[in-house]
Amino acid sequence: MIGWRPGRDRSREFEEVALVHLDALYRSALRLTRNRAEAEDVVQDTCLRAFRSFHRFNPGTNCRAWLFTILRNTFLNRVRGAGRELYEGDAGSAWDALVERASDRAGGGATPEEQFLETALHGDVDRALRALPLAFREPIVLVDLEGLSYREAAEVLGCPVGTVMSRLSRGRRLLRRALGDFAREHGYVGEPE
């Protein structure tokens, strides 16, 4: 096992090794929570927990995956503490929930400026991703958006690589379907014949 260099300040080591991933942690937390304030709280809790247990982190291993694991556990603990549902049933009900949530967000309560910016700034993709059930959203965020390997994502999610691949495939299929609906809704593509 590689140890930390003696005489170095622990907080300086933490800044150099862990805090370089702060932006990626925030992006992922935002996609998981769908709320800026809650994402900030999750990242803050994650960083605090990581700093407190940094002495247990092995230098030379994947710090990014270690931080994402802490982020995920922090998020899940907050969700469980609030008594919310974590995963929605099978792919059929997941699709129904995806369509319902995406259409609810499409025009609900936002100002015209917010609606324009949401659409102009890849709003449909973001809405479709946010509407995915957590079981499918997590692998997509970790692998497709944050660039983790299947193995690293499996470590973060605490499941086998095959499960990550399966959830990723189903999540991508749900996204493709939702984005096809959005494209037809906006007139980018015609109705299927």
Domain boundary assignment for the chain: 10-81, 91-185
Q: What is the pLDDT of residue 52?
A: 93
Distance CA(99)–CA(131), nearest Å, equals: 8
The helix (run of H) or strand (run of E) holding residue 159 is: none
Mean pLDDT, residues 1-21? 72
Least-confidence region, from 100-109, 125-134, 163-172: 100-109
Q: How confident is the model at residue 93, as a pLDDT? A: 43
pLDDT confidence of residue 54: 92
Q: Tell me the average pLDDT across 94-108.
A: 41
Round to whole Å and give the CA distance between 131 and 125: 10
The alpha-carbon radius of gyration of the chain (Å, integer) is 19
- With CA atoms as reference, report the closest residue to 8 among 59, 82, 44: 59
Whether the predicted pLDDT of 101 surpasses 80: no
pLDDT in tens, 21-52: 999 999 889 888 878 899 999 999 999 999 99
Count Cβ atoms within 10 A of the Cβ of residue 83 and give its class: 0-12 exposed, 13-18 middle, 19 or more buried.
Answer: exposed
The more confident residue out of 126 and 1 is 126
In terms of Cβ atoms closer than 10 Å to its own Cβ (0-12, 13-18, 19+), residue 61 is exposed
> Any idea of the CA torsion for 59, 60, 62, 63, to the nearest 10 degrees?
30
Domain 10-81 has CATH 1.10.1740.10: yes
Q: Which CATH architecture has domain 91-185?
A: Orthogonal Bundle (1.10)
